[in-house]
Structure 1
Amino acid sequence: MSKIVTLGEIMLRLSPEGNYRFVQTDSFRIIPGGGEANVAVSLANYGHETFFVSKLPTHEIGQIAVNALRRYGVNTEHIARGGDRVGLYYAETGASMRPSKVIYDRANSAIAEAEPGDFDFDAVMEGADWFHWSGITPALSDKAAELTRLACEAAKRHHVTVSVDLNFRKKLWTSEKAISVMRPLMQYVDVCIGNEEDAQLCLGFKPDADVEGGKTDAEGYYGIFKGMMQEFGFKYVVSTLRESFSATNNGWKALIYDGKTFYQSKHYDINPIIDRVGGGDSFSGGLIHGMLTYKDQAKALEFAVAASALKHTIPGDFNLVSAEEVMSLAEGNANGRVQR
């Protein structure tokens, strides 16, 4: 299998049990997770050699995050140790018409304060096949944005395929700041992943689609896909298309373009959603596995969409499914019968 590197922040998610609200609970579950860490876990589950690059404190709370990655087979040798704190976020799970809610407590986390000298990116990228990052990482701080650039440059020196999940987070930065940082980084990217909001707020491209109204016809994305590819030279542009009918009922599909052909995946009705957190990361992990394994954009996309649909049924940030389970769903086995 392939060697895959991801760079980012792993945090500790603090959540009330079930659908309790923050103000109701007197205890929180600790759930490790974070964009690129979630991708690494997915790919480790598919059998790849995955490396997660970050920085975490040397104390026991930092070790919780390291141990969570090791538990699922992610290599942690390139995680620098030091800094004062692990990023936290609080997540309240919504239901029906009440949306889920996230409150961040991640300022000045170890990775946000990391320095270039904490990492040898040439050593990290040696022998790698794929490098993945997301827009969350450069949003953490100017230092983290510089680390992202240095990692991308090293990946290109070692002829590593680079993917990005644009992943705009309005609680971390403004669209103006995101565009000023993200657009220059696109020169290193081969595969660009994002939804309609990400493309607009990170890169300034707006699709002709009313996602809130449930109108997600692929035709609305053709123009921006072509424009993004022409401007940045991507090899692939990929978008998830989520129809949010309620907090526990979503429609889910995706679209991919290779510069010649557009392909739209099958549609999944995900109802009820058990945990939506990590849904986009599970898509990215599935897409990377699909593109490395099948060399066919249609089959790769179907794998990614099926993987993400399954993640919505699993509590926590990590997508704990095998490639065989994903392929079974992608091939039409969605009846949920007990496997004996």
Structure 2
Amino acid sequence: MPDVVTFGEIMLRLTSPGHLRLVQAPHFEITLGGAEANVAVMIAQLGGSAGYVTRLPANDVAQRAINELRGYGVDTNFIVRAGNRIGIYFLEQGASQRAGKVIYDRAHSAIAEAQPGEFPWDKIFAGAKWFHWSGITPALSVSAAKVTGEAIAAARRMGLAVSFDLNYRAKLWENPEQAGEVLSPLMKGVHLCVTSIEEAQSVFGIDVAAGEGPRGTETARQLCEKFGFESVALTQRQGATANATSWGAMFFHEGQSYFSPRHEISVVDRVGAGDSFSGALIFALLRGDGAQKAIDFAVAASTLKHTVPGDYNLVSLAEIEALAAGAGGGRVQR
């Protein structure tokens, strides 16, 4: 059985080619992805053991998604085949001062109609060490939120570490307050929370404007006090255009803050960068890295994801470790 289990929705991604707007697209480039699937692929790419759980219809498009995950080394044995459709999202890549755009077509997707009792969590978690989920899944429907709660309870009962990426998506919630109301009860049992200062403020009401410590320390401390998290990772993005961003993170662990270097990135595709951060951080912690090494590794992994088209971070362990150690510059390796 895999060491890490993730649970969520995988979708068909339709991207307008190059930097064409959606209204200009003569055709779409097809890829697949979704927050928790991206995490599982990242861990498997690094040589870790990862399984992905979702609910997909018994059709060829869904089968392609499963085949691709298997090809990347992800265990798919507990994917439930039911429902009528796979979710879709349309992506328009941004350029310069024009932001990217996402249009969702995921209403009534198979996972949104999942019901408690459909997933044999005790079997799924047998032998596993870690369970990862994100705030996207409970946003899909009331029943999906209940299934997520069921999974968290089973993971805690079976002694797994539990990580959570807030992943606030404004198009899936009525407002941040609704997200906070749904997600807050699910925080019991979460060991590691991945979010940003802005998300923590808007969704969980963390207000530290007057006393924020260095780059997020007080935000992380208050999250731990409010929900009982053992650790908090805060991604920190700064960028004036769609094509360029500055990327780093901090890790609050055992009362101490650890800060990564910042990386200046020319963006190819930023979708999935946060997910690869979560996946790489989980991988690093499971292999026993210390806090500083783990956050440096996770930021290096997610930095490289900005350079890879598609949702999945198809880079190697060696490439990430080289960047985390200070090697870089983009020279051709001969």
Question: Aligning the two structures, in what range does the TM-score lie when normalised by the shorter sequence?
Answer: over 0.9
Percent identity (aligned):
49
Aligned-residue RMSD, C-alpha: 1.5
> Which residue is equivalent to 1:297?
291
Cα distance in 2, alignment partners of residues 276 and 146 from structure 1: 30
Q: Structure 2 matches for 1:239-278, cutoff 5 A?
A: 239-271=234-266, 273-278=267-272
Compared with structure 1, are the counterparts of its residues 330 and 229 closer, same or farther at alpha carbon in structure 2 (3 Å cutoff)?
same
Cα distance in 2, alignment partners of residues 252 and 88 from structure 1: 28
Q: How many residues align?
A: 332
> Which residue is equivalent to 1:120?
120
> Which residue is equivalent to 1:13?
13
Cα distance in 1, alignment partners of residues 251 and 209 from structure 2: 16
> Which residue is equivalent to 1:82?
82
Q: Structure 2 matches for 1:77-226, cutoff 5 A?
A: 77-173=77-173, 174-208=175-209, 219-226=214-221
SS state at 2:188 partner: helix
Q: CA deviation at 1:195?
A: 1.0
Verify: 1:314 aligned to 2:308, yes or no.
Answer: yes
Verify: 1:333 aligned to 2:327, yes or no.
Answer: yes
Q: CA deviation at 1:232?
A: 1.3
The one-letter code of the counterpart of 2:176 is S
Cα distance in 1, alignment partners of residues 124 and 201 from structure 2: 32
Compared with structure 1, are the counterparts of its residues 265 and 294 closer, same or farther at alpha carbon in structure 2 (3 Å cutoff)?
same
Give every structure 1 segment of 4 or more consecutive aligned residues whose post-TM-superposition deviation is greater than 4 Å. none
SS state at 2:22 partner: coil
> Could you tell which deviates more after superposition, 291-300 or 277-286?
291-300
SS state at 2:6 partner: strand
Pick from 283, 289, 298 the counterpart of residue 277 of structure 2: 283
Contact 2:113 2:143 in 1 (8 A): yes
Compared with structure 1, are the counterparts of its residues 275 and 233 closer, same or farther at alpha carbon in structure 2 (3 Å cutoff)?
same
In the TM superposition, what whole-angstrom CA distance separates every residue of 1:248-295 from its partner, at most 9, and x where no partner exists? 110001011113211111010002x00000010011011101111233
In the TM superposition, what whole-angstrom CA distance separates every residue of 1:94-123 from its partner, at most 9, and x where no partner exists? 111111000000011000001123210111
Contact 1:16 1:25 in 2 (8 A): yes
The one-letter code of the counterpart of 2:239 is S
SS state at 1:132 partner: strand
Contact 2:221 2:255 in 1 (8 A): no
Q: CA deviation at 1:218?
A: 5.9
Provide the TM-score with structure 2 as the length reference.
Answer: 0.96
Verify: 1:40 aligned to 2:40, yes or no.
Answer: yes
Unaligned runs of 5+ in 2: none
Q: CA deviation at 1:224?
A: 1.9
Cα distance in 2, alignment partners of residues 259 and 227 from structure 1: 13
Contact 1:178 1:202 in 2 (8 A): yes
Cα distance in 1, alignment partners of residues 208 and 297 from structure 2: 24
> Could you tell which deviates more after superposition, 258-267 or 313-322?
258-267
Cα distance in 2, alignment partners of residues 149 and 314 from structure 1: 33
The one-letter code of the counterpart of 1:196 is I
SS state at 2:97 partner: coil
Unaligned runs of 5+ in 1: 210-216
Provide the TM-score with structure 1 as the length reference.
Answer: 0.95
Cα distance in 2, alignment partners of residues 206 and 76 from structure 1: 40
